[in-house]
Amino acid sequence: MLSLRYKADTSIPVEVEGLTPSAVRALSVAEIQRFEVFHGNRKVPLAEFFDVSGDPSDARLEFEGNLAGVHWIGAHMTEGEIHVRGAAGRHVGSEMTGGTIHVHGNASDWVGGEMHGGLIHVHGSAGHLVGSAYRGSATGMTAGTILVDGSVGNEVGLTLRRGLLAIGDGCGDFVGANMIAGTVLVFGTCGIRPGASMRRGTVGLLGANPPKLLVSFRKSCVCQPTFLRLMFKRLQSLGFTVPSDCYDANYGLYHGDHVTVGRGEILIRES
Amino acid sequence: MAIPPLTQTPTADSSITILDSTCTFCGCVCDDIDITVKDNHITDAKRACVLGKAWFYGHHADDRPSCLIDGRPASVAEGVERAARILTDAKYPIVYGLSDTTSEAQRVAVAIGDAIAGTVDTTTSVCHGPSGMAFQGVGEVTCTLGEIANRGDLIIFWGGNPAESHPRHFSKYSLMPKGMFVPNGRKDRTAVGVDVRKTKTAKAMDLFFQIKPRSDFEALWTLRALAKGIDVDPEQVQSDTGIELSRWQDLMNRMKAAKFGVILFGMGLTMTRGKHLNSEALLSLARDMNAYTRFVVKPMRGHGNVTGADNVVTWQTGYPFGVNMTRGYPRFNPGEYTSSDTLARGEADAALLVACDPMANFSQPARERLRSIPYVALDPKDTPTTRSAAVSFTTATYGINVPGTVYRMDDVPIYLRPALTTSHPGDLEVLSAIHRRVMELKR
Amino acid sequence: MSSGLFKIAGGTVYDPIHGVDGEQRDIWIRDGRIVAPPSEPDVRQDKTFDATGLVVMPGGIDMHCHIAGPKVNSARKMRPEQKRKAEKVIRTPNTRSGTMGSVPSTFATGYKYAGLGYTTAFDAAIPPLAARHVHEEFEDTPCIDKGFFVLMGNNHFVMQSIQRNEPERLRSFIAWLLGAAKGFTPKVVNPGGVEIWKQQPSGNVHGLDENVAHFGVTPRQIIEGVARAVDALRLPHSVHIHANNLGMPGNWRTTLETMKTLGDSRGHLAHIQFHSYGGGEGDENTFNSKAVELVEYVNTHSNLTVDVGQVLFGETTTMTADGPLGYYLSNAFKSKWFSSDTEMESGCGIAPIEYKNTSLVHSLQWAIGLEWYLLAKDPWRVVMSTDHPNGGSFLAYPQIIQLLMDRTYRQEMLKLVHPAVLERSTLADLTREYTLSEICIITRSGPARILGLPNKGHLGPGADADITVYTPNDDKTKMFELPRMVIKNGVVIVEQGEIRQPVTGKLLYVSPEYDSSIEKDIAEWFEKYYSIRFRNYPVPLDYLHDHEEVRG
């Protein structure tokens, strides 16, 4: 395990894009200390901001400290494990294809942006655009799992292509907007306009006081879908808490968004 | 770079008229203003609206110093030197504003942003930036203003108040003109307003929809559903939007029956809950409508050359606003690299502010950060922003003192015919000097 | 005493205009131009580049691309997702940063063209109302000389003059308009079709004799009228035509009719590949190549020239003044769609698309482009283009060169495309391999002649010293991707892929004479319908950066 203890005190963005378990696996600590990262527009060696120690060969990185101003942690990673013991900045796990990231704190916006595989678990809250497409993309996240124990902001799962997002607490507006496929489950409250423009895929609103859906959604029935229970079991196995009363609840099934293809589903807990 | 000379140089004792001069107060960029100048004052601005008149008459020669460093008069050369050092020392400098200046000056500002490895953003990001983002999502169906004048027969004004923000819009472009395919002008047109309150614009409309606040998205979605012939729940429509379904249906019928429908939209859409997704709903509706008839939209751009700023930043970097170049190449991410955000989060450590006033209109955290960092401000006016600048330049006013190119709200480029002389340097001159010095320091 | 001379010594020179086909020659440069070798024996050059063993050609000319103006800029704005994933153009002490993807930013455009050895490019379609925008972007597009074609095929005054059967009025208007915009030649895009698009949902024309409502003209009349006017004005380049029915199965008949309509008038048919399709109307399943038939006509009619508009597989962005086409493509590819109608003048459509080698239609499009090159008898009248970026990026030119010069490579590529190409086109049977000289013709000497640029496309005395030096390589893609050196107006601007000294380049335009009495007429019409003032429309000379008027 490689330990990276954050010792900087700067409000200027620190970008560690490229610092992944695979990139440092075969390097010595001295080489890792010289790894170039960005502090605003300056290239600086990693050691300027982190005390580096340990052994990277097991492809496990442990960041420690308040890294709310450190961005692109785990971006593009393909394997291995990253733990952040503290807050994390923007673009955590952006475009990653494999491996696991745990943020034991809050993360900022764009967690798992256009992710293609692997697992991200934010044990605190996250910002906007979790598991989302970047601006202009016709396709967003294509695979992987993102779990956020706390709450998140707007546009969760924007243009989701495939993958699983689970939010333990509340989410903001436009969850699952423009979705192509995949699953987003929100266990807390939800903001307005969920599933706007969704084409296929599933949004589960499992918390209290669900919002009204847009007029272009139509209720089809009330059900207890088996697949949900399987999802919950899977989430539990990943260390995500699913309230026990979700298992046997009734869910209203709504189809939409009929303004587009309309083959998406929104499940709203009714009991 | 070719900078054409002033077209007419007034002398102290004669009165001259400059024909077809351009007003840059709002996005209408009217280029038919005949300016009469006497003794270096504008004494008449024929055809200017109330905002244009205030613009033209409000310019007076002043003897403020062209440059202040830390509030004390200095030479422009000293100011340039200090400005260049502030910007090249910075790790996360921002270049912001740019809307009230010429494209020639904007081009140099972006060049500075590139050279100092900073982030370039324009006032678009606090105005129609969301519409730009929506455009990147779904595209846009639009036209130049003359098309509206010649063909538009159903004109919808959504979330804006052009009667007060763009006073000549109705008469010049959208409602009154006797156009090729609308020969009877206003009589051949139906004007529809959609807004949360009855403004002066509402009074000029044939139909007005006073929708519930922050329900633009739901209203647009209702229209999209009606366009597709989807059954919607009348009660929900009423409760979502505050308007009965039958009225929306009637509007949709009119939209489909129009020969050339137009939706002109403003901040009511872009700056309320939903923002870029509100804009996206509207742009999507226009696209949907083209299956049935010709339909276009136009964002009602504000300041005279904010459209120019979009264009310049796009052609030079590839992205329209919020462009980060700290890593040596352009990156785009609204919300991350937009100036109100980089300031509010305390990330920017220096700034070059051109023709804007963030000290007056940004959020408190952003203003506090700005106050705490060294920044350079260029502005013809004395503003809260210039007053707290480390280096401030009083510059010539574009279109009044200096020429240059501006882009109207529909991207049509128009040249400025300045009327008055001034001792202050133009933005182009100051920015070019700063750029030269920055390049020397960076070598 | 400085002679100011720069000598490119002993290179293998290709200069088809002067009949030089791979001969070892010296090239002498002074004051930005190529000069005759010094007659005095004791005159020494200040600078020499030893080009022994290297190939020397005039700088490349892209005579049909989309690189500047409102349409291109909207496309840039619309594709942040493509730019994000594309090559980064990183700032250096003497170059600006930028972005790539299918619509590069302006500085990047200039650097990349220069990097390939291109020194001149023409934007194919500009509405004159936006001329100033183009001039500004051109000034920020370094390293190459530039010009643009002015959209006129749906211009109201043009249609009106034709309807009134007033060819002299039309001629004067065209001359005035070219001078007002500082453009290069009239461009006709889907004549009449864009106007109908403005009037009706999914509106378009489908045949040359359809009536354009409200204007009472036909596409045929527009083509004829403008072509004749251009010849009467003796413009250096002919009328430049994007024919009706682009992309439609069966459109080859429209193309043939368009060619016939031109009669003896000069005419350049743009991106001819997109106009060479057989098959049933709207029926993709019968889609096939009619390149043979059309090439035959071009081969036997020397008044006609074409550029190919080669398709390459991959993602790109279509951008065209053909408004209805943009809508069609966006629906076909289910992509985002930008459209903008310019008052009185033109339209525009932008839609991202992807050409796939698994698609029958796309594979045929790819094959048809190659058929055109390989079947054409006269390389002087067939120009290389991708209609950048509609068929693909100009960065693909080296690959196209390899496809033309290397039959084995071509056959390998054929195996990777849809098998229907084998039955529905003749490509598999074409064994021709282009020579270096022919490549030189279709990428520089031919376009220079077609455009009527006497100082370009050759290496004789008087020519602009725009020169590209290549290191020979059997892998032609590699050879043409990375020139050894690129010289622009006698200045070394690129060496081994690095920009040494970006220059601004100049604007090439025409300003034909016309009877100025027409201006009153134009002003009256203008003030009635345009939304800007007549006085503010023309671009004066002092607005331009470096410029050069080209005469016919």
pLDDT tens profile C322-344: 999 999 999 999 999 999 999 99
Nearest to B123, CA basis, from B141, B97, B142, B103: B97
**Closest by Cβ to C337, choosing from B5, B139, B296:** B139
Domain presence at residue C3: no
Contacting subunits of C (3+ beta carbon pairs below 8 A): A, B
List, in sequence order, the alpha helices (H) in chain A: 21-24, 29-33, 226-237
The domain in which residue C208 lies consists of 57-447+467-499
Report the share of chain A in percent with pLDDT over 90: 99
**Closest by Cβ to A216, choosing from B90, B221, B336:** B221
Give the count of domains, chain C: 1
Is the CB of residue B397 less than 8 Å from the CB of residue B102? no
- pLDDT for A220 equals 95
The identity of residue C41, as a single letter, is: P
Mean pLDDT computed over C39-50: 89
Q: Strand order in A36-39's β-sheet? A: A42-45, A36-39, A14-15, A70-71
- pLDDT for B72 equals 97
Q: Residue B2: which pLDDT band, with cuts at 50, 70 and 90?
A: very low
Is the CB of residue A207 less than 8 Å from the CB of residue A188? yes
Q: Residue B12: which pLDDT band, with cuts at 50, 70 and 90?
A: low
Residue of A43, A137, A159 to mutate, testing the C interface (most C Cβ within 10 Å of its Cβ):
A137
pLDDT tens profile C13-37: 999 999 999 999 999 999 999 999 9
Chain A: residue whose CA lies nearest to C333: A138
Mean pLDDT computed over C363-384: 97
Give CA–CA dist B372/B395, Å, rounded: 24
Both tokens of residue C551? 């005469």
With beta carbons under 8 A apart, name residues in chain A contacting B95.
none
| Res. B5: pLDDT tops 50 | no
Q: Mean pLDDT of residues grouped by 10 in chain A (271 residues)?
A: 97 98 97 98 98 97 98 98 98 98 98 98 98 96 98 97 98 97 97 97 96 96 94 96 93 96 95 83
The domain in which residue A234 lies consists of 109-269
Chain C: residue whose CA lies nearest to A114: C81
Give the 3-state secondary structure of residue C523.
helix
Q: Residue B32: which pLDDT band, with cuts at 50, 70 and 90?
A: very high
- pLDDT for B62 equals 81
pLDDT tens profile B226-270: 999 999 999 999 999 999 999 999 999 999 999 999 999 998 998
Domain presence at residue A98: no
Give the count of domains, chain A: 1
**Under CATH, what is the fold of the domain B129-299?**
Dimethylsulfoxide Reductase; domain 2 (3.40.228)
Could you check whether B67-127+304-399+420-442 and B129-299 share the same CATH topology?
Answer: no
Residues whose CB falls within 8 Å of the CB of residue B264, separated by 6 or more in sequence, listed in order: B155, B156, B157, B158, B160, B162, B169, B174, B297, B298, B299, B300
Mean pLDDT computed over C66-85: 97
Give CA–CA dist C37/B117, Å, rounded: 47
B117 CA: distance to closest CA in chain A (Å): 6
Helix/strand/coil (H, E, C) string of chain B?
CCCCCCCCCCCCCCEEEEEEECCCCCCCCCCCEEEEEECCEEEEEECCCHHHHHHHHCCCCCCCCCEEECCEECCHHHHHHHHHHHHHHCCCEEEEECCCCCHHHHHHHHHHHHHCCCEEEEHHHHCCHHHHHHHHHHEEEEECHHHHHHHCCEEEEECCCHHHHCCCHHHHHHCCCCCCCCCCHHHHCEEEEEECCCCHHHHCCCEEEECCCCCHHHHHHHHHHHHCCCCCCHHHHHHHHCCCHHHHHHHHHHHHHCCEEEEEECHHHHCCCCCHHHHHHHHHHHHHHCCCCEEEEEECCCCCCHHHHHHHHHHHHCCCCCEECCCCCCEECCCCCCHHHHHHCCCCCEEEEECCCHHHHCCHHHHHHHHHCCEEEEECCCCHHHHCCCEEEECCCECCCECCEEECCCCCEEECCCCCCCCCCCHHHHHHHHHHHHHHHHC
**In C, residues 328-367, which contact A (CB 8 Å cutoff)?**
335-336, 352
B345 near A CB under 8 A: yes
Residue of A9, A135, A174, A192 to mutate, testing the B interface (most B Cβ within 10 Å of its Cβ):
A135
- pLDDT for B13 equals 56
Report the share of chain C in percent with pLDDT over 70: 99
C80 near A CB under 8 A: yes
C393 CA: distance to closest CA in chain A (Å): 20
- pLDDT for B334 equals 94
CATH class of this structure's domain B67-127+304-399+420-442: alpha beta
Do the Cβ atoms of C336 and B173 come within 8 Å?
A: no
**Backbone region of residue A200 per phi and psi (left: phi > 0; alpha: psi in -120 to 50; beta: other values):** beta
Report pTM: 0.97
A249 CA: distance to closest CA in chain B (Å): 26
| Res. B3: pLDDT tops 50 | no
pLDDT tens profile B304-353: 799 999 999 999 999 999 999 999 999 999 999 999 999 999 999 999 99
pLDDT tens profile C161-188: 999 999 999 999 999 999 999 999 999 9
With beta carbons under 8 A apart, name residues in chain C contacting B328.
88, 90-91, 97
- pLDDT for B4 equals 33
Domain presence at residue A50: no
- pLDDT for B7 equals 45
Residue of A17, A76, A134, A261 to mutate, testing the C interface (most C Cβ within 10 Å of its Cβ):
A134
Give CA–CA dist C390/C393, Å, rounded: 8
Domain presence at residue C165: yes
B218 near A CB under 8 A: yes
Give CA–CA dist C284/C301, Å, rounded: 30
Q: Residue C1: which pLDDT band, with cuts at 50, 70 and 90?
A: low
B249 near A CB under 8 A: no
Query: What DSSP string runs through C259-318?
Result: HHHHTTS-EEETTGGGG-EESSTT-GGG-EE-HHHHHHHHHT-TTEEEE-----SEEEEE
Residue B146, Cβ neighbours under 10 Å: how many? 25
**Closest by Cβ to C89, choosing from B179, B319, B329:** B329
Do the Cβ atoms of C336 and A137 come within 8 Å?
A: no
Contacting subunits of A (3+ beta carbon pairs below 8 A): B, C
- pLDDT for C283 equals 66
Is the CB of residue C367 less than 8 Å from the CB of residue C292? no
With beta carbons under 8 A apart, name residues in chain B contacting A260.
none
**Closest by Cβ to B405, choosing from C136, C337, C544:** C136
| Residue with more model confidence, C39 or C512 | C512
C99 near B CB under 8 A: yes
* Mean per-residue pLDDT of chain B: 94
Lowest mean pLDDT among A182-191, A223-232, C277-286, C541-550: C277-286
**In A, residues 131-190, which contact C (CB 8 Å cutoff)?**
133-138
With beta carbons under 8 A apart, name residues in chain A contacting C80.
134-136
C90 near B CB under 8 A: yes
Whether cis (ω within 30° of 0) applies to the bond prior to C231 is no
A235 CA: distance to closest CA in chain B (Å): 31
Domain presence at residue C526: no
**Closest by Cβ to A135, choosing from C81, C335, C352:** C81
Residue of C532, C541, C543 to mutate, testing the B interface (most B Cβ within 10 Å of its Cβ):
C532
What H or E segment, with its residue span, contains residue C162? helix C156-163
pLDDT tens profile B119-145: 999 998 888 889 999 999 999 999 999
**Closest by Cβ to A136, choosing from B116, B137, B240:** B137
With beta carbons under 8 A apart, name residues in chain C contacting B316.
96, 98, 105-107, 140
Helix/strand/coil (H, E, C) string of C115-132?
HCCEEEEEEEEECHHHHH
| Res. C5: pLDDT tops 50 | yes
Chain C: residue whose CA lies nearest to A134: C81
Helices B216-227 & B234-241 angle (0-180, nearest 10) = 150
B46 CA: distance to closest CA in chain C (Å): 14
Q: Hey, which residues does C498 pair with through a beta bridge?
A: C495
Domain presence at residue A75: no
Mean pLDDT computed over B396-410: 95
pLDDT tens profile B165-180: 999 999 999 999 999 9
Is the CB of residue C77 less than 8 Å from the CB of residue C135? no
Question: Where are the domains positioned within chain B?
Answer: 67-127+304-399+420-442, 129-299
- pLDDT for B1 equals 30
Do the Cβ atoms of A12 and B118 come within 8 Å?
A: no
pLDDT tens profile B292-301: 999 999 999 9
| Look-up of token digits 């900073």 | B118
